């Protein structure tokens, strides 16, 4: 089923009798899912299950909704901060939709963004944590782990995407929520991402909801700013090279609309855009077709995300140069509080 159609259906923008029937069906289907989530959380909430103590400080980064909140740049920011502060930090991911036994797109991107930071991919993150500690890590970052409560964490960071903060206010499959909104109260720190892509009124409404959920003085606001262009050969060039150019864009990420908006902020003339499901693996035929589309609209270049580029070897598609937009994290609000929380974690790192 087309991802754009699904989002339009979930949001209620798709009208008609058939759409209403589908939404009723999805609404009914969310309840078994919610019961399963509630049962899992019940064990931890009432201490019937105790999380595993790793023996070193652990920070979890996750979200309430499926995909697209900007976990990768936030994880990279935190990993580099702790590495530069002297910690032997390690990353733990479950390896969702790995390309092979070793890597998925997020690991490939993080390996480039966090040089020197080891990264373990394993669905059994307790096993990964044990191995990381044995290998000398004295601080661990759990990627996409707000719902993974088997490991004790010293700081639980929850990301909220300002462009779709509440996942259409329904759990899967009726909406995008992995668990009910009220469960955000477990978070120690909330980071609102992409605050530059919404209006002041929308951002104020998000802040008000967080205050209502008892998040007072624990909220950080960030934007993801393009930093440079990069190709699969590792060559880079300034963003200005894309300005005033005719660009065809594509991506396979959780929030394609946000990437399309980023491209427009570069000053490019977007002459075509195509989105694919999150973590999509592009075939040769698909890349050829994308190149043909770019050629048919007389694009000067083809633009994609860094997360997609790491799965593509080509430096051009049908004669059109292929570049990815590299993203950096800019903290717009709450930087002193974030620094304070990170230093408090660093103080708990075992001395070697």
Distance in angstroms (rounded) separating the CA atoms of residues 337 and 57 = 19
CA angle 63, 117, 143 (to 5 degrees): 15
Give bridge partners of residue 65 from the DSSP assignment. 177
Q: Which CATH architecture has domain 58-224+330-346?
A: 3-Layer(aba) Sandwich (3.40)
pLDDT (tens digit, 9 = 90+) per residue, 148-165?
Answer: 999 999 999 999 999 999
Domain boundaries, given as residue ranges, for the chain: 3-45, 58-224+330-346, 225-328
pLDDT of residue 99: 54
Q: With 90 as the cut, is the pLDDT of residue 59 above it?
A: yes
Q: With 70 as the cut, is the pLDDT of residue 1 above it?
A: no
Same fold, 58-224+330-346 and 225-328: yes
Two structure tokens written together for 286: 């698909």
pLDDT (tens digit, 9 = 90+) per residue, 157-195?
Answer: 999 999 999 999 999 999 999 999 999 999 999 999 999
Please give the DSSP secondary-structure letter assigned to residue 116.
T
How far lies 163's CA from each of 58, 171, 193, 211, 261, in Å? Answer: 29, 17, 8, 18, 11
The pTM is what? 0.93
pLDDT of residue 217: 87
Q: Would you say the C-alpha torsion 200, 203, 205, 208 has a positive or negative sign?
A: negative
pLDDT (tens digit, 9 = 90+) per residue, 83-129?
Answer: 999 999 999 998 765 555 557 788 999 999 999 999 999 999 999 99
Distance in angstroms (rounded) separating the CA atoms of residues 219 and 244 = 37
Two structure tokens written together for 40: 């899992």
Surface-to-core class of residue 286, CB atoms within 10 Å of its CB (0-12 exposed, 13-18 middle, 19+ buried): middle
**Which class would CATH give 225-328?**
alpha beta
């Amino acid at each position: 089923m087309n991802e754009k159609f699904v989002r339009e259906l979930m949001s209620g923008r798709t009208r008609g009798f058939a759409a209403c029937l589908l939404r009723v069906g999805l609404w009914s289907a969310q309840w078994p899912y919610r019961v399963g989530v509630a049962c899992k959380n019940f064990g931890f909430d009432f201490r019937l299950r105790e999380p595993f103590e790793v023996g070193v400080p652990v920070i979890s980064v996750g979200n309430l909704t499926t995909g697209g909140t900007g976990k990768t740049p936030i994880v990279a920011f935190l990993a580099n901060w702790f590495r530069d502060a002297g910690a032997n930090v390690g990353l733990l991911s479950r390896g969702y939709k790995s390309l092979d036994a070793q890597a998925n797109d997020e690991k490939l991107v993080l390996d480039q963004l966090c040089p020197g930071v080891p990264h373990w991919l394993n669905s059994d993150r307790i096993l990964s944590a044990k191995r990381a500690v044995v290998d000398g890590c004295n601080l661990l970052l759990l990627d996409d782990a707000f719902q993974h409560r088997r490991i004790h964490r010293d700081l639980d960071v929850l990301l909220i995407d300002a462009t779709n903060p509440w996942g259409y206010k329904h759990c899967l499959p009726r909406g995008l929520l992995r668990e009910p909104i009220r469960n955000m109260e477990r978070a120690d720190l909330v980071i609102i991402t992409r605050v530059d892509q919404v209006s002041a009124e929308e951002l104020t409404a998000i802040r008000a909801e967080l205050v209502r959920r008892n998040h007072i003085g624990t909220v950080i606001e960030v934007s993801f700013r393009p930093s440079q262009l990069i190709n699969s050969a590792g060559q880079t060039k300034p963003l200005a090279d894309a300005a005033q150019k005719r660009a065809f864009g594509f991506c396979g990420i959780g929030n394609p609309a946000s990437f399309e908006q980023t491209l427009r902020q570069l000053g490019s003339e977007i002459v075509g855009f195509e989105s694919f499901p999150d973590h999509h693996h592009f075939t040769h035929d698909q890349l050829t077709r994308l190149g043909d589309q770019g050629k048919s609209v007389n694009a000067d270049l083809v633009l994609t995300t860094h997360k997609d580029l790491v799965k593509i070897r080509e430096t051009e598609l049908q004669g059109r140069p292929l570049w990815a937009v590299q993203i950096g994290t800019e903290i717009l609000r709450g930087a002193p509080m974030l620094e304070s929380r990170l230093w408090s974690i660093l103080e708990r790192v075992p001395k070697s």
